[in-house]
């Protein structure tokens, strides 16, 4: 069993470069299915979820060549399968990302129900309802989603109940080849949506309004392969930003656009942090106690749910009490019980967490509950008394490239170890 072991109490400083966005790279890889031929993606993070998506595309018949550490050449010319099997997609939450591209290219798809972090139900019903409006027929059997387009795809107006990123992306990709114009109302506005729209337009699609609540897609004929650079990972940047804030910094984070973390930066400044925004990143430092502020997660441009655990870790050492409201994933507070093992004072009431600041954390053995929660537990260990050992770190590997190495480069006393599994010892 691999663990991350952290010795607390050491200062952090220096510069760290973030990778391409996980939540964009996975969808861009899926989108290459729509343009038969060789597409090249650069700034692709070397993480577990990308490896899994690569296996999904390879299973369908694509060939993938790794050019350098962060560049993928994907040839989708010979894709003949339209099935994404359970043994692959169960490993990541982004499995439904291939649904729209397969429907667009083949008019049919078989996709296993999604897996990945256990942080809440996948709102797959929004994908289904939206795609049904375009003429897709669905059946769900033995854990698989069966989708067909008996009359082809036809443009329509789809209003989403919730600004779902996944549903917006699937509708965008499925409607590229639909007859007429498709309008997505209450569309997700995340930077990753804009990145996908840019890729599709470079391929020859006609997508307008990405980044706003209303997106229009005019159906076109064949798409062509392209070369595209993945947008920087705002959540990885936010994670190192929070770490610098907790320990004091200064830390310079490069490789992302600060505007993509707009509300996070504003909230952190209200917490007493100093943030110097630059063209390709920012510098964070803190010389005052952390001021407690209330947080509520919402779709972009609101406060991202993917920054909730890291921010709870910060606020758990705040100067007062505050409330964190989770509006996106119902199980995201699983992290709180592990942080409490380290001495945090957090009480959960429904989708609210009442956080009372404490002066210090104590090192402990904790278990990573999900991707962001795992990173936040390592973060807590940076300022805890003694040693903190974080297990189930495969969650962290899903979304952070070279996590331990980057922390070491900033001065953290952290290492990745292989230890005997308790069950093996038994």
Sign of the CA dihedral 330, 257, 282, 49? positive
Report helix, strand and coil shares of the chain as percent, to nearest 5.
Answer: 35, 25, 40
| This prediction's pTM | 0.92
> Which residues have CB under 8 Å from 399's CB, separation 6+?
22, 47, 49, 235, 236, 371, 372, 375
pLDDT reported for residue 84: 86
pLDDT reported for residue 136: 95
| Helix locations, 123-250, DSSP H | 124-133, 165-175, 191-203, 234-247
Q: What's the CA gap between 274 and 295, in Å, rounded?
A: 19
Known binding residues for phosphoenolpyruvate are 22-23
Q: What is the mean pLDDT of residues 208-214?
A: 97
Known binding residues for UDP-N-acetyl-alpha-D-glucosamine are 93, 306, 328
Q: What's the CA gap between 162 and 221, in Å, rounded?
A: 30
Q: What is the mean pLDDT of residues 21-44?
A: 96
Choose, from 117, 282, 313, 322, the residue flagged as catalytic. Answer: 117
pLDDT reported for residue 338: 95
* Whether 282 contacts 351, CB under 8 Å: no
Q: What is the mean pLDDT of residues 148-168?
A: 94
At 262, the pLDDT band (50, 70, 90 cuts) reads very high
Both tokens of 211, joined, read 């980044």
- In DSSP notation, 374-393 reads HHHHHHHHTTEESEEEEE-T
The answer to which of 94-98, 365-369, 373-377 has the lowest mean pLDDT is 94-98
Q: What's the CA gap between 370 and 93, in Å, rounded?
A: 11
Q: Which CATH superfamily is domain 22-224 in?
A: Enolpyruvate transferase domain (3.65.10.10)
Residue 117 annotated in active site: yes
| pLDDT tens digits for range 84-98 | 888 887 776 666 889
At 282, the pLDDT band (50, 70, 90 cuts) reads very high
Q: What CATH class is the domain 2-18+233-418?
A: alpha beta
Q: What's the CA gap between 244 and 320, in Å, rounded?
A: 20
Known binding residues are 22-23, 93, 306, 328
Q: What is the helix (H) or strand (E) element at residue 182, kind and residue range? A: strand 181-185
Q: What is the mean pLDDT of residues 25-52?
A: 95
Distance of CA 276 to the CA centre of its chain: 25
Q: What's the CA gap between 373 and 96, in Å, rounded?
A: 23
- In DSSP notation, 266-333 reads HHHHHTT-EEEEETTEEEEE--SPPPP--EEB-STTSB-GGGHHHHHHHHTTSSSEEEEE--S-TTTT
pLDDT reported for residue 114: 64
Domain with CATH 3.65.10.10 in the chain: 2-18+233-418, 22-224
For 388-400, letters b (16+ CB in 10 Å) and e give: bbbbbbebbbbbb
pLDDT reported for residue 333: 86
**CA–CA distances in Å: residue 4 to residues 96, 318, 340, 408, 415:** 31, 25, 18, 12, 6
């Amino acid at each position: 069993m691999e663990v991350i072991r952290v010795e607390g109490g050491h200062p952090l400083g220096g510069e760290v470069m973030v990778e391409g966005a996980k939540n964009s790279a996975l969808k861009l890889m899926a989108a290459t299915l729509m343009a038969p031929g060789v597409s090249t993606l650069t700034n692709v993070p070397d993480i577990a979820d990308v490896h899994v998506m690569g296996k999904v595309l390879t299973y369908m018949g694509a060939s993938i060549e790794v050019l350098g550490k962060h560049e993928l050449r994907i040839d989708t010319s010979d894709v003949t399968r339209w099935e994404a099997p359970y043994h692959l997609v169960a490993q990541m939450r982004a499995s439904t990302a291939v649904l729209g591209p397969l429907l667009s290219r083949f008019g049919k798809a078989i996709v296993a129900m999604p897996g990945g972090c256990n942080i809440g139900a996948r709102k797959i019903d929004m994908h289904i309802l939206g795609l049904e409006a375009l003429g897709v027929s669905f059946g769900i059997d033995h854990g698989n989603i069966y989708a067909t387009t008996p009359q082809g795809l036809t443009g329509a107006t789809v209003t989403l109940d919730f600004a779902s990123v996944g549903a917006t992306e699937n509708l965008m990709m499925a409607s590229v080849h639909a007859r007429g114009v498709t309008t997505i109302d209450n569309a997700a506005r995340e930077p990753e949506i804009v990145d996908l729209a840019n890729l599709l337009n470079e391929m020859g699609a006609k997508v307008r309004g990405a980044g706003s609540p209303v997106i229009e897609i005019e159906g076109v004929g064949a798409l062509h392969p392209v070369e595209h650079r993945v947008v920087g990972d705002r959540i990885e940047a936010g994670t190192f930003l929070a770490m610098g804030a907790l320990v004091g910094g200064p830390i310079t984070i490069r490789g992302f656009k600060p505007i993509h973390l707009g509300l996070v930066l504003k909230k952190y400044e209200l917490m007493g942090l100093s943030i110097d925004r630059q063209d390709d990143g920012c510098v964070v430092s803190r010389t005052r106690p952390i001021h407690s502020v209330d947080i509520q997660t919402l779709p972009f441009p609101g406060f991202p749910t993917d920054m909730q655990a890291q921010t709870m870790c910060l606020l758990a050492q705040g100067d007062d009490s505050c409330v964190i409201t989770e509006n996106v994933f119902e199980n995201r507070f699983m992290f709180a019980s592990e942080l409490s093992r380290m001495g945090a004072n957090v009480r959960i009431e429904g989708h609210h967490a009442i956080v009372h600041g404490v002066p210090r954390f104590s090192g402990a053995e904790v278990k990573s509950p999900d991707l962001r929660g795992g990173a936040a537990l390592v973060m807590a260990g940076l300022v805890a008394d003694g040693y903190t050992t974080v297990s189930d770190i495969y969650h962290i590997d899903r979304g952070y490239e070279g996590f331990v190495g980057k922390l070491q480069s900033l001065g953290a006393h952290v290492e990745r170890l292989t230890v005997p599994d308790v069950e093996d010892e038994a």
